[in-house]
Structure 1
Amino acid sequence: MIEQVFLLAQNNEHMIEKVITDENVNFNHMIFNKNEGLPEHFSNSNVYMTVIRGLVSIGLDEHEIHEYSAGTVLKIPKGIKMNVKNLYDDTLELIVIKAPAPEK
């Protein structure tokens, strides 16, 4: 078998799942319930965030919070202050890809 196979968790529980972490890319799967999210931080690579379900509320740098629904892909450059939250009752599920993989 040439390909590698990775499985994503299928649930509604809060989690940040590091699916692939190698020298090329970081591929993360995240699930947040109401009032959960990531701690405010600066992006350490180019970030490609896909909303799988729910509605993400995201504040970038000093800009106002914007909200994006399922099916939306966001491209966020390296070095941007990020504040990612789920402010709603519906479960928020994200795929977050960092490319190139951040240096350690």
Structure 2
Amino acid sequence: MHPPGPYNLHNLPLSPPAIYDGSTADAGTSTTKLYFSTNNTLDASDIYLGNRFVPAIAAGSSQNGSTNVTIPAGIAVGTYYIIAVADSDNTVAEKNETNNIYARSISITQ
């Protein structure tokens, strides 16, 4: 098993949740929350890992960044998911509010 972190999410493609799909107006600041999950669907059993502050984004553009998180201790070998929820507090008005969740699989190995 890997040591319990922190793991740097810079190598995971977090660009999808940091893309602003608004109209012609710029987006203000927002927060992307990160969760550890046994599947690729966000639900109440997922473990909150932390968040990433996203600065204001110009309309039609994106913003990349990295966040260190600690994988919970005692996790068994297997495939898990990091789930990113962009604009998790719904502070940014967007054309499509249903595309703010992105899941990426990770492997915990010995």
Which structure has the bigger radius of gyration?
2
Greater strand share, structure number: 1
TM-score, normalised relative to structure 2: 0.27
Greater helix share, structure number: 2
